[in-house]
Chain A
Amino acid sequence: MSDGELIGSFIVPVHPHTVLAPEQNEGWGRLRDAYDVAAQRIKDSGADLLIIYSTTWPSIIGHQIIADPNPEWVMVDHDFHDLGSIPYSFNIDEKFAHAWNEANEKRGLKSRTVAYHGFPIDVGSVVALKLLNPDNAIPAVIVSSNVYANRSETTVLAKACMDVVKATGRKAIAVTAMSLSNRMFTKPIEPRDDRIHSLKDDEWNRKILELLGEGRLEDVGQLSRTIHQQIRVNKVVAFKPMWWLSGMNTNRNDLTGEVLAYEALHGAGGAVVHLDPTPSGTGDIEYDEDDVEYFAGERNVLDADQLETEENEQSSNAESLPKEDLNKGPALWEPTEGEDSVNSEAAPKPVGAYPHARRVGDLLYLSGVGPRQPGTNAIPGGPIHDESGKALDYDIKAQTQAVVDNITRILEEAGGSIDDVLDVTSFLVDMDRDFQGYNEVWAETLGQVGPTRTTLAIRALPTPIAVEMKVIAKAPPKM
């Protein structure tokens, strides 16, 4: 299966006017026309998944993801109920929703799926899906906007989503259902009188759209807090959908952007924007906040006392604990499945979206193999540093032997043996310290088999291990 990818992004407005009353105001009609253009582009793109991040679905306990395969109800807006009702029946990709939920947890996020009859799909999601996917031809997934989430949490949410897009080979479209300036008139107005609430809001909106039109999405993300302070009412804590969308686009600033429409919706700024991943050649990230791969900000309020006690106990017992218990490392993944993949329950779980091995013709290509133990994730010989980064003593011979044992398990899963190894590239994080011990174990094991070998010194490996091997082996005949 080929890697999945994001093939486009859209920013769309949330208010129901574009569905229920486009004829009542020329601007609302232009937004509706732009929605229709966006829908046609999505249809023509061959997309097989729509991913909606909606600012009108707030959540508190982490992020929530709709996982009901066919949510149906009638939506009525809390403010604009006099415009009418919007019946909906959507096609939700529940498998993707569950996979995203799991990917969130692997990256440290609190997350859950929602699949309850009658769950109220929010107005932003309803409007976006009704207009972008009118015949429900493309399965969709909807995620909430967590009221407490800030940039790191929102960025990791996007990265977890893209983990699944890539692993499942999807051609995905990302959509943020949102307003630009979100200050509405606080009194009813006649449709003909609609305009952006203030000149200041209008100027900021046009600046945002200028950047987006140049494909400078990450710049808008960088300006999120400033934009929020300038033109957003305080019902949420940040202009966060731009963080999510930028994260979905690998924080790029050179997309190809096009503003399809920009109009007022009861004073708020509504726009339909298309961001194509084709590099525009313009734009550069002028400044950046720290990138973040894993969310570690949860305060564990519920278990604070218990954690404190556990930490104290661990500290007092540290001397007697086996070294391999002291470091947990990054989140573990299920090995990805493909037609040519070889995966073994007896091998340690990957730390990313990849298989243990892949068969191509008469050869087996193994992903990098380290010494972690299947099941416990323990590191024979001990980790090279603790969770705070403090260096620990470790046994390179034990680690090297464990690597060879894991290679053996994967090859046996493929129906072969350690004798099939043809070529090895070894990576050591401390050549001076470890080469001799590593070499001794090699001589007793793979050295007896006779593969070619290259040994490299590198700065670090994803887990606190000292050695990893990349192996190419003969593939046993298919049964």
Chain B
Amino acid sequence: MSKGEIVAGCLAPHPPHLVYAENPPQNEPTAEGGWEQLRWGYERLRESLAGVDYDAIVLLSPHWQTYVGTHFLGLPKFKNLSVDPVFPNLFRYHYDLEIDVELAQQIHDRAADAGLAVKMMTNPDFRVDYGTITTGHMFNPAWDKPLVVVSSNRSRDYYSVEVMQEMMIELGRVTREAILASGKKVVVIASNSLSHRHFTTESALPEDMSKEHITSHAMHLWDMRMIEYFRTGQAQRILDEMPEFTEQAIAESDGGGLSWLLSTLDVPTYPGILHGYGTIIGTGNAIVEWPVRDHKEAGL
């Protein structure tokens, strides 16, 4: 079997507003548009990967929140209706997705061997979280690649950002090992926002962009600081500053996705491509791609 490969790593946030604004047939509500800067960012990400061959997507969503270890979807198909419990007015999506159970099991097994608490999720009634569905749709609306879906272990809530990061770096390491051993070409995705302070009110027309902005200047400064690190290949600084960033920007990196992603990419020293940045109900969101395929000397 040929050696597996990570072809790209992506930060690809999941606010349901993006699917709402796209008006895909799977989603019940309809919109007049909105959040174009981010949706165009997703377009650029898709175009960047249009000519790249890969077999599967490994995705960690902060909205499948597990407190007893890290879980993996463990059945080949999931078909259901996903209704966002926070924004049900925007997101009621009929999904039908395929899971690469083999790769999921391989990552699971290596994580278990490394001492991490892990579990395969094999209940057919389980409803896949809206974060996974949103990022899955925006990244690959054709849904023609199987997914490995990884839960967000909320160890930060139990311990600290530091402990969370230690666990996620370890999970990233074994994820990388499992992918390389699988013989598959894979895109890895962390589905999270940056700063994550929401507005507590919603405009009458949710897609009214005259109401959209970052919640505070401090959040903007943190987002720009992180983006600058993304763009200049300073992943290690991101990990170093993760505790301050997570706490001061109330960042969605608390779910561990960004730390896991950077570890899976072996802490890249080459620049990430910023495809887009925008705010959604006050939170900061960046779409970033690390084109691992172009930097094999850097990590693979």
Chain A interface residues toward B at CB < 8 A = 57-62, 74, 76, 78-82, 84-85, 110, 114, 116-120, 122, 146, 148, 183-188, 233-235, 266, 298-303
Contact = CB atoms under 8 A, between A and B. Distances in A.
B298 interface: no
Contact of B199 (A117, A184, A266, A301): A301
Contacts of B65: 78, 235
B295 interface: no
B200 A188 contact: no
Contacts of A57: 85
B1 interface: no
Interface string B140-175: 000000000001011111100000000000000000
Contact of B126 (A58, A76, A187): A76
A148 to B, nearest CB: 5
Contacts of A78: 64-66, 71, 129, 151
B203 interface: yes
B156 to A, nearest CB: 8
Given A81-B71, A82-B119, A119-B85, 10 more contacts: A57-B85, A59-B86, A62-B200, A76-B127, A85-B123, A122-B85, A185-B68, A187-B69, A233-B67, A299-B200
Contacts of B86: 58-61
Question: What band does the interface of chain B fall in when counting residues whose beta carbon is under 8 Å from A?
Answer: 35 or more
User: 4 smallest A-B Cβ distances: which pairs?
Assistant: A85-B125, A118-B81, A187-B117, A81-B123
A165 to B, nearest CB: 26
A82 B123 contact: yes
A76 B201 contact: no
B83 A79 contact: no
Contacts of B198: 60-61, 148
Contact of A118 (B83, B87, B202, B282): B83
A79 B123 CA distance: 11
10 contacts: A61-B201, A76-B126, A78-B151, A81-B71, A85-B125, A118-B81, A184-B67, A184-B68, A301-B282, A302-B199
Contacts of B31: none
B69 A74 contact: no
B121 interface: yes
Interface string B112-129: 000001010111011101
A235 B157 contact: yes
Contacts of A184: 67-68
Interface string B193-210: 000001111110000000
B105 to A, nearest CB: 16
A169 B81 CA distance: 38
Contacts of B123: 76, 81-82, 84-85
Contacts of A81: 71, 121-123, 126
B83 A119 contact: yes
Interface of B: 64-69, 71, 81, 83, 85-89, 92, 117, 119, 121-123, 125-127, 129, 151, 153-158, 198-203, 211, 215, 281-282
A62 to B, nearest CB: 7
Nearest to A301: B199
Contacts of A266: 68
B215 A79 contact: no
Contact of A62 (B88, B117, B201): B201
Contact of A301 (B154, B155, B201): B201
A79 B85 contact: no
A186 B69 contact: yes
Contacts of B155: 186
Contacts of B88: 114, 116, 119
B200 A79 contact: no
A120 B211 contact: no
B26 to A, nearest CB: 13
Contacts of A183: 158
A278 B215 CA distance: 47
Contacts of B67: 79, 184, 186, 233
A409 B179 CA distance: 79
Main DSSP-derived SS at the B contact region: loop
Contacts of B129: 78
B179 to A, nearest CB: 25
A114 B83 CA distance: 11
A121 B101 CA distance: 28
A188 B117 contact: yes
A79 B68 contact: yes
B202 A61 contact: yes
Nearest to A146: B200
Contacts of B281: 60
Contact of B158 (A60, A118, A148, A233): A233
Contacts of B119: 82, 188
A187 B158 CA distance: 12
B68 A110 contact: no
Given A78-B151, A81-B121, A148 B66 contact: no
A186 B156 CA distance: 12
Contact of A235 (B71, B87, B154, B282): B154
Nearest to B81: A118
A197 B196 CA distance: 30
Contacts of B85: 57-59, 119-120, 122
Nearest to A81: B123
B268 to A, nearest CB: 30
A184 B81 CA distance: 29
A61 B282 CA distance: 12
Nearest to B121: A81
B127 A300 contact: no
Given A76-B126, A81-B123, A85-B125, A187 B92 contact: no
Contacts of B121: 81
Contacts of B71: 78-79, 81
A122 to B, nearest CB: 7
Nearest to A112: B89
Nearest to A189: B68
Contacts of A146: 200
A59 B198 CA distance: 11
**Most chain B Cβ neighbours within 10 Å, of A81, A148, A187, A299:** A81
Nearest to B65: A78
A184 B153 CA distance: 13
A77 to B, nearest CB: 9
**Most chain B Cβ neighbours within 10 Å, of A185, A186, A187:** A186
B71 to A, nearest CB: 8
A186 B154 CA distance: 9
Contacts of A235: 65, 154, 157
Contacts of A62: 200-201
Given A62-B201, A82-B123, A186 B215 contact: no
A223 B119 CA distance: 37
A234 B156 CA distance: 8
